């Protein structure tokens, strides 16, 4: 009998197999994974679950059922079975590609990826809706989150900071929908954004002076335009002796400062706890002696609390907002502040906005996926 396969390293032939061999490998991995699940279910029912890492059980299964195959094929089978048994299953292979920024699952047989701002088919499919649901449940379980027909939507953050959103039927008509916006541990700095053409040197100098002079900057743009990346880069101009408090729905900012306090919201339904909103965290942050406040995105009634803070001595804040132009960004900020429903007239809110915000930076993503700053407008 050939030696035990090594599950800890990809097989040499992985990624180089012909379409026919690839299809057979996928089918065999699915069958062996089903046998693994059945064996563990039977062992659990009989009270005979054996201790030890899952890798050892997979190695034994491959030894028994695929002993006549070559070492390389058996190692690849071992790796694929483990991929099906833990984590995101068949999506794991997509995350081995560092160029993948987003994974978009529109059902078991429709999986796309985002690379360099453009969306393209991934070539990955799930065998069934059940297999896709199993992968979703495995990734949510360590987060203490659940999703089912009674609660068919969930938004969460993975351990590496990536954002995950799930929508199940009946809300999702064509099967479970999974959206993952990948987190990159290293955010590009100002020089990297200049090199990429996202911002030109003159614009960067203007914004650097604005940050150092404690002016308030609102970064406006659409989804995926690069607002958070630009916010993170501009934060590098904050003085090292300043205490900075970041407030986000999902902690994505990575500031290169020693004195940073990171706050993150808590949705409802997490172990039965009450939700904690951006507005709650912003109100608390004002009691934490902040020199700077960075809000990942203003999207609700917390806009009024932010305006109040900015107009009462907490200048120099940085935040993002969804809007199509600097003018639209200011109008949206006014609208969000009115959602606080405290009875202030629109004229009073508008005056607060013009008094609080100094610059609005518009960033956009073009048809080719390139991100660039298109305008820096004074709000006064």
CATH of the domain at 299: 3.40.50.300
Residue 250: per-residue pLDDT: 79
Extract the residue ranges of the chain whose pLDDT is less than 70: 1-34, 36-61, 63-72, 77, 80-87, 184-186, 269-272
Same domain (yes/no): 197, 172: no
268 and 119, same structural domain?
A: no
User: What pLDDT, in 10s, does the model give residues 309-359?
Assistant: 999 889 999 999 999 999 999 999 999 999 998 888 999 999 999 999 999
Task: Answer yes or no: do 357 and 212 share one domain.
Answer: yes
* Domain end residue (candidates: 164, 184, 204): 184
| Residues 350 and 204 both lie in one domain | yes
CATH number of the domain within which 114 lies: 3.30.450.370
pLDDT attached to residue 292: 95
Both 371 and 300 in one domain: the answer is yes
Domain check: are 58 and 123 in the same one? no
Which of 84, 107, 125 is the C-terminal boundary of a domain? 84
| Domain enclosing residue 52, as ranges | 1-84
Residues 225 and 278 in one domain: yes
Residue 85 has a pLDDT of: 65
Give pLDDT, residue 2. 40
**SS in 3 state form for the chain?**
CCCCCCCCCCCCCCCCCCHHHHHHHHHHHHHHHHHHHHHHHHHHHCCCCCCCCHHHHHHHHHHHHCCCCCHHHHHHHHHHHHHHHCCCHHHHHHHHCCCEEEEEECCCCCEEEEECCEEEECCCCCCCHHHHHHHHHHHHHHHCCCCECCECEEEEECCCCCEEEEECCCCCCCCCEEEEECCCCCCCCHHHHHHCCCCCHHHHHHHHHHHHCCCCEEEEECCCCCHHHHHHHHHHHCCCCCCEEEEECCCCCCCCCCCEEEEECECCCCCCCCCECHHHHHHHHCCCCCCEEEECCCCCCHHHHHHHHHCCCCCCCEEEEECCCHHHHHHHHHHHHHCCCCCCCHHHHHHHHHHHCCEEEEEEECCCCCEEEEEEEECC
How many structural domains are present in the chain?
A: 3
Last residue of a domain, one of 184, 201, 227: 184
Residue 222 sits in the same domain as residue 292? yes
């Amino acid at each position: 009998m050939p030696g035990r396969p090594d599950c800890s390293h990809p097989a040499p032939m992985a990624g180089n197999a012909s379409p026919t061999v690839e299809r057979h490998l996928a089918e065999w991995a699915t069958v062996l994974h089903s046998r693994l699940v059945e064996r563990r279910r039977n062992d659990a029912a009989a009270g005979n679950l054996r201790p030890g890492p899952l890798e050892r059980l997979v190695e034994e299964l491959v030894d028994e059922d695929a002993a006549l195959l070559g070492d390389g094929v058996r190692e690849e089978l071992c790796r694929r079975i483990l991929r099906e048994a833990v984590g995101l299953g068949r999506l794991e292979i997509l995350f081995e590609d560092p160029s993948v920024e987003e994974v978009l699952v529109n059902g078991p047989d429709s999986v796309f990826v985002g690379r360099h701002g453009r969306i393209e088919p991934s070539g990955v499919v799930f065998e069934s809706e059940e297999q896709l649901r199993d992968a979703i449940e495995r990734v949510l379980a360590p987060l203490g989150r659940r999703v089912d027909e009674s609660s068919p939507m969930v938004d969460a953050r993975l351990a590496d900071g990536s954002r995950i959103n799930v929508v199940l039927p009946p809300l999702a008509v064509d099967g479970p929908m999974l959206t993952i916006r990948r987190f990159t541990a290293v955010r590009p700095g100002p020089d990297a954004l200049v090199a990429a053409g996202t911002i030109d040197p003159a614009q960067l100098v203007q914004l650097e002076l604005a940050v150092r002079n404690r002016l308030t900057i609102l970064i406006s743009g659409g989804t995926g335009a690069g607002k958070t990346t630009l916010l993170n880069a501009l934060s590098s101009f904050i003085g090292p002796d300043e205490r900075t408090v970041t407030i986000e729905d999902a902690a994505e900012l990575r500031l290169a400062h020693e004195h940073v306090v990171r706050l993150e919201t808590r949705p409802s339904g997490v172990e039965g706890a009450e939700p904690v909103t951006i507005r709650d965290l912003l109100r608390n942050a004002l009691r934490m002696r902040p020199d700077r406040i960075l809000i990942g995105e203003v999207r609700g009634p917390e806009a009024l609390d932010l305006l109040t803070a900015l107009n009462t001595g907490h200048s120099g804040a940085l935040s993002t907002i969804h809007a199509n132009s600097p003018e639209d960004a200011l109008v949206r900020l006014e609208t969000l502040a009115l959602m606080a429903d405290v009875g202030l007239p629109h004229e009073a809110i508008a005056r607060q906005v013009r008094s609080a915000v100094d610059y609005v930076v518009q960033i956009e993503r073009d048809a080719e996926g390139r991100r660039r700053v298109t305008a820096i407008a004074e709000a006064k």
